[in-house]
């Protein structure tokens, strides 16, 4: 059965009287070429554990199971569970968990289903919660090798943006701090059923074993990022005033010590400069 065929999706919908949920952002992939690109791009090995977020009717799940030792699929929609149990019944290496991904303890899944290979996370992320899902995986330091996921193209552009680019923002800095980012594919909206309103892209985020910068205080690093991009049209002096409880004079001193012009704007700072700024702020706070 070609699970990705629109006729199959319609047949399954009718058989199970399943209604697609707009609130859950359900759009099923119908292009085998894109499915293959995701599987190839995620570099799944025969001994690997794959955790899939939002398996839908099992299109990507089945392909992952052909390549991996074990697949654990996390699906929030109760209505899809019997469908998945049916469409994937020929595979004995798939476990389906009916859970909310934002409340899922991924580290527990990894320890419970660990294989001799690496752990890879894949999925077609619901567009409305893409950022919360990614930040949960990264901030909780889920013990995975990589995250290969489909998302709204606009979000993908933000994640991989460089300093000075109009798409560069807090999400760019945060994800690039945790991962090396590469784009696997651009995906037009026409290859989904039903088609969403926007195009998509697939990114692979290889989780860094070592952080690219040395930080005295990671919390301050993210405080600087949020404060700066929260008022991105202002100069650094103005956007950082009040961050971590610092006065304008204190911020001026912090920037001077960091060797960063107080008249610059946040979108011009690269990862190294954010680290220098955060470390300068940490030094100031510890000495005052």
Please give the annotated binding residues, written as ranges: 27, 29, 54, 75, 100, 124
> Which residues are 96's β-sheet partners?
73
Residue numbering of the annotated binding site for S-adenosyl-L-methionine: 27, 29, 54, 75, 100, 124
- Beta carbons of 113 and 70 less than 8 angstroms apart: yes
Q: Where are the beta strands (DSSP E) in the chain?
A: 28-29, 49-53, 70-75, 94-98, 119-124, 146-152, 179-187, 192-193, 200-207
Q: Is 284 helix (H, G, I), strand (E, B) or coil?
A: helix
Question: Quick one: which H or E segment has residue 5?
Answer: none
Give the separation between CA 14 and CA 250, rounded to whole angstroms: 64
Q: Is 69 helix (H, G, I), strand (E, B) or coil?
A: coil
């Amino acid at each position: 059965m070609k699970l990705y065929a629109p006729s199959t999706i319609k047949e399954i919908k009718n058989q199970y009287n399943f209604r697609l949920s707009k609130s859950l952002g359900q759009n099923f992939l119908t292009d085998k070429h894109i499915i293959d690109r995701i599987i190839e791009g995620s570099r799944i090995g025969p001994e690997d554990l794959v955790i899939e977020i939002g398996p839908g009717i099992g299109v990507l799940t089945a392909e992952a199971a052909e390549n991996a030792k074990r697949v654990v699929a996390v699906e929030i929609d109760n209505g899809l569970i019997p469908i998945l149990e049916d469409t994937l019944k020929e595979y004995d290496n798939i476990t389906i968990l009916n859970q909310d991904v934002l409340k899922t303890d991924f580290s527990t899944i990894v320890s419970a289903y660990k294989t001799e290979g690496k752990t890879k996370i894949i999925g077609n992320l619901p567009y409305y919660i893409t950022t919360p899902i990614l930040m949960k995986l990264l901030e909780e330091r889920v013990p995975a090798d990589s995250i290969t996921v489909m998302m709204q193209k606009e979000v993908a552009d933000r994640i991989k943006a460089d300093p000075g680019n109009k798409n560069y923002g807090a999400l760019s800095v945060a994800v690039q701090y945790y991962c090396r980012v590469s784009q696997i594919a651009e995906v037009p909206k026409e290859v989904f059923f039903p088609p969403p309103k926007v195009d998509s892209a697939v990114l692979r985020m290889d989780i860094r074993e070592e952080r690219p910068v040395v930080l005295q205080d990671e919390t301050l690093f993210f405080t600087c990022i949020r404060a700066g991009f929260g008022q991105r049209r202002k100069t650094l002096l103005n956007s950082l005033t009040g961050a971590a409880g610092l006065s304008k004079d204190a911020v001026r001193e912090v920037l001077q010590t960091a060797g960063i012009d107080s008249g610059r704007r946040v979108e011009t700072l690269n990862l190294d400069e954010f680290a220098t700024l955060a470390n300068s702020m940490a030094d100031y706070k510890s000495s005052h």
